[in-house]
Amino acid sequence: MSNQVYNTYLLRLADDTLILGQRLSEWCGHGPILEEDIALSNIALDYIGQSTNVYKQLASLVNDGRDEDAIALTRMESEYVNALMMELPNGDYGTTIARQYYYSSFYLLYLEQLKNSSDHFLAGFAEKSIKEVKYHLQHATDWILRLGDGTPESHSRMQHAVNGLWPYLGELFHDDETDMEAVKEGWGVSREALKTAWTNRVNAVFAEAGLTVPSEAWYHSGGRKGSHTEHMGFLLAEMQFLQRAFPGAKW
């Protein structure tokens, strides 16, 4: 297999989970109820743990003197390849839940395929992460139902949230050259192939929650190529602050 393709594949996985974990952890201390501070922190911890494992693997493959922290925390913005959805601000609780629901429902299907990867590391990573992501999806589904079918206010906020994030979903399901190469070589997952199962699942949950599934086909993209939203620079400024202020320091 091509190292370049494999490393890019790993980097996307790591960046998706790091950036989403970074965003989610912003809720810690600010949630609507203490139980949710705990739940969201838990999920953020899972993502950060997952990304750490992948960055470590990447560091050992690239072997250029950078450790997982140097890779995670010192790149330029254009070198981050997360999907745009991850870097969007949290918004209200409904928006955070909508993103959690969209991403975990996609991610679980993705990991269930990745588990069969011919690549030892990725298969193991998927196996381990599935347990966590099942819980994330359960948590998000419970809240989609509560908020979608709660009060008129929560219903309209939830509908607004799922509509607002919809145009960021396409990027998750798009197979570009890297994905296609990975699929061809037997160690990657076709994202597009997950679409039908995903749509069925979302239709069922949204129907139960009384939410309308958006239908717009057009979507935002660019994250996989390092072209980000205006929010990313601020996220990185915070996340990289100490690494940049004290280059090479150990913590």
Query: How many CA atoms does the CB half-sphere of 65 hold within 13 Å?
Result: 1
Q: Comparing C-alpha atoms, which of 99, 129, 135, 100 is closest to residue 112?
A: 129
Span of 27-35, 78-86, 126-134, 222-230 interacting with other proteins by CB under 8 A: 27-35
Give the residue from 104, 123, 124 showing the smallest Cα distance to 114. Answer: 123
Q: Please, which residue, 12 or 191, has the CB nearer to other proteins?
A: 12
90, 123, 150, 183: which one binds other proteins (CB under 8 A):
150
CB of 157 to other proteins, least distance (A): 7
**Binders of other proteins among 38-97, rule CB under 8 A?**
38, 41-42, 44-45, 48-49, 51-52, 55, 68-69, 72-73, 92-94
Q: Compute the residue count for the chain.
A: 251
Residue 186 exposure: Cα atoms within 13 Å on the Cβ side: 4
Question: Cα 42–45–47 angle (5° rounding)?
Answer: 115
Least gap, CB of 94 to other proteins (angstroms): 8
Of 118-126, 183-191, 199-207, 236-244, which part binds other proteins (CB under 8 A)?
236-244
The single residue among 64, 65, 217, 251 that binds other proteins, judged by CB under 8 A, is 251
**CA–CA separation, 99 and 82 (whole Å):** 14
Q: Put residue 91 in one of left, alpha, beta given phi > 0 → left and psi -120 to 50 → alpha.
A: left
Q: Which two three-digit tokens encode residue 165?
A: 């994030």
Report the distance separating Cα 35 and Cα 28, nearest Å: 11
- State which residue, 22 or 104, has the beta carbon closest to other proteins: 22
- Candidates 7, 26, 128, 166: give the one binding other proteins (CB under 8 A): 26
Give the distance, in angstroms, between the CA of residue 175 and the centroid of all CA atoms in the same chain.
16
Decide if residue 144 touches other proteins (CB under 8 A): no
Interacting residue with other proteins among 2, 4, 28, 60 (CB under 8 A):
28
Question: Which of these segments, 33-41, 124-132, 175-183, 196-204, binds other proteins (CB under 8 A)?
Answer: 33-41
* 154: exposed, middle or buried (Cβ count in 10 Å: 0-12, 13-18, 19+): middle
Site residues, other proteins (CB under 8 A): 18, 22, 25-26, 28-38, 41-42, 44-45, 48-49, 51-52, 55, 68-69, 72-73, 92-94, 145-147, 149-151, 153-154, 157, 238-239, 241-243, 246, 249-251
